[in-house]
Structure 1
Amino acid sequence: MTTSINVPGPASEPAPVRPGRKLGPIADTVSSSHRAWLEPTRERYLASGRTLSDLSRRVLAKSKLSELLRGVGHYPRWEVIHRLAGELDIPGWPLYRLWKQAAMDAGKSRDWVDRSTDGTTAVATARSDRPIEHWALCQTVADGYLAYAGVFLTDDAHKTAVDDTFAILWLCFDEALASPDIRRYAWNILRATVKAKANYRDERPVLAEAAFDTVALRDASPQDQSSRLTESLELFTAISKLPTAQLDVMVLRRLCGFQPKQVSDLLGIPLASVRSDERHANRFLDDTIELPPPTGGLTS
């Protein structure tokens, strides 16, 4: 499933008018991992005021650069992306991480990746320019993000999704800081990243094996494990039918065991909104299944 994971920021100044033909859209065939770095790179280009003709003198032939920014043609080598990043002042490490992940997803060998990064790896992997606010936010939300992603993805995939989220957030950090709530901005990236990697059935996300390790199952006695597992599967199936906001709240509350205040902090929404979403979701679930008691109650 190919899902756009670019998160729209607040309204900004119109992009400078460029001479020549307008850059075409990203191709529909571009994978979600490729889009993870391509969309922020395009946004940086569009906001820069630079032209393809200008960049072609330092990066790549104009026609090839247009293909690169639309995601058509061969997957680009890092040495080209590295030059483009330097021209557009894009931080190297998060871009490199997302580029490498997409290269592996596209079937590129580790030898191809290593050869593509010759002479640029040290710059690409340096994190010295990481904003302190980015580091602090990632430290604060990491456990919650891993718990949420683990409901939908396997162990390796859910860690990758969170790391990708932090890399995308770094690439878009100026927009994140200018948004009404940076926590909400970051959560939207996480949700979209997890959604792009999750498995689906009837257009609904499918429970990952990692989600069997829920709070309810961990607290159950061995003789209760089977019935609790059935309850968890029924609960998740019902939760997957909820609107997005209610789904997020119920996954964090019911399957991850977070308190309402913790959910509010992770989602970047008021506590009253968490409680409202939970009430509406519970009404739907009451009509669908017999709910077990919530973990942690309704206290903040």
Structure 2
Amino acid sequence: MAPVADNVGSAHRAWLDPLRTAYLASGLTLNELSSRVRFAKSKISELLRGVGLYPRWEIVFRLADELGMPNWPLYRLWSQAALETHKSSEWINGCIDRTTLTASHAAPPLEHRAFRELVENDYLLYAQVFLDDDQRDIAVADTFDRLWLTWNQALASHDTRRYAWNVLRTSVMARTPHRDGRPELGSAAFDTVALQTLATTADHMDQLTETLELFTAISRLPDRQLDVIVLRRLCGFPHESVSALLGTSLATVRSDERHATRFLESVIPPPTTEGTTP
């Protein structure tokens, strides 16, 4: 199967990648799949590569149903991507109205529901550092929909928590503004507990400038170190909670924090005390 087209956006890939994975795991040929769902092989090939017009829900549903995928999270991701490709709500609703094949509200696996209850609030805090409220909620909801679609792969991975965190990070970073290839910690970061406390200080403007410089420096950290610093310094999580969220050892978290702190101090050295002798 040919790779996904380069111009396919992240929201589109959020449901397309799991669909491609399910197809490859099925062992079916395109000819076999075409005869089962009664759509032309060329149409299915285009859909699986993300080329041509954005697909209507009917064909996505039929493919997912044949491949044994849960259709409710797939529908939510499909409709979200449709909006981001500038399809109207009328078009999306029309796709459903024109067919009797609708998305059922089946419940996710019990383990998935338990995992979501355990980590959802923490995921929202992390996403809040990069995104406004609406984008934060969409990114985290997309994360759990993608996990639902790939839950078997998550359970079979080396560490389900690490697998889930990578899905969250992908969802958040896809919606985060970037500059020079690095994520920007924008105004949403000022909603964190640490910065709300900062705003009560008397020298607010000076510290505000220092904070913006710090955000720029944090954005330059390698991905893993950036996540550790965001979770530790901006979200206020203890080392043990960061380790659990990332699915990495406590020693790795502490090592990443040390390296990140050294870099940040080299970029933004602590202020010198006036009146001290050299």
Same fold (TM over 0.5): yes
Equivalent in the alignment of 1:64: 43
Query: What is the Cα deviation at residue 236 of structure 1?
Result: 1.3
1:252-293 deviations in Å (ceiling 9; x for gaps): 11111111111111111111111111011111111111469x
* Alignment equivalent of 1:258, drawn from 237, 248, 251: 237
Secondary structure (helix, strand or coil) at the match of 1:117 reads: helix
Are residues 1:83 and 2:62 paired?
yes
Number of equivalent positions: 267
Query: Equivalent residues in 2 for 1:205-224 (5 A)?
Result: 205-220=183-198, 221=200, 223-224=202-203
Equivalent in the alignment of 2:13: 35
Query: Equivalent residues in 2 for 1:272-287 (5 A)?
Result: 272-287=251-266
Structure 2: state its 5+ residue gaps.
Answer: 272-278
TM-score by length of 2: 0.92
Equivalent in the alignment of 2:25: 47
1:149-185 deviations in Å (ceiling 9; x for gaps): 1111121111101111111111111110011110000
Equivalent in the alignment of 1:133: 111
1:150–1:208 Cα contact (<8 Å) kept: no
Matches of 2:203 and 2:136 in 1, distance apart?
28
* Alignment equivalent of 1:195, drawn from 170, 173, 181: 173
Matches of 1:224 and 1:135 in 2, distance apart?
45
Query: What is the Cα deviation at residue 127 of structure 1?
Result: 2.6
Query: What is the Cα deviation at residue 107 of structure 1?
Result: 0.7
TM-score by length of 1: 0.85
Are residues 1:163 and 2:144 paired?
no
Give the partner amino acid of 1:126.
H
Query: Equivalent residues in 2 for 1:98-177 (5 A)?
Result: 98-118=77-97, 119-121=100-102, 124-128=103-107, 130-177=108-155
Matches of 2:211 and 2:118 in 1, distance apart?
28
Secondary structure (helix, strand or coil) at the match of 2:267 reads: coil
| RMSD of Structure 2 on Structure 1 (CA) | 1.5
Equivalent in the alignment of 2:156: 178
Give the partner amino acid of 1:97.
R
Matches of 2:233 and 2:203 in 1, distance apart?
18
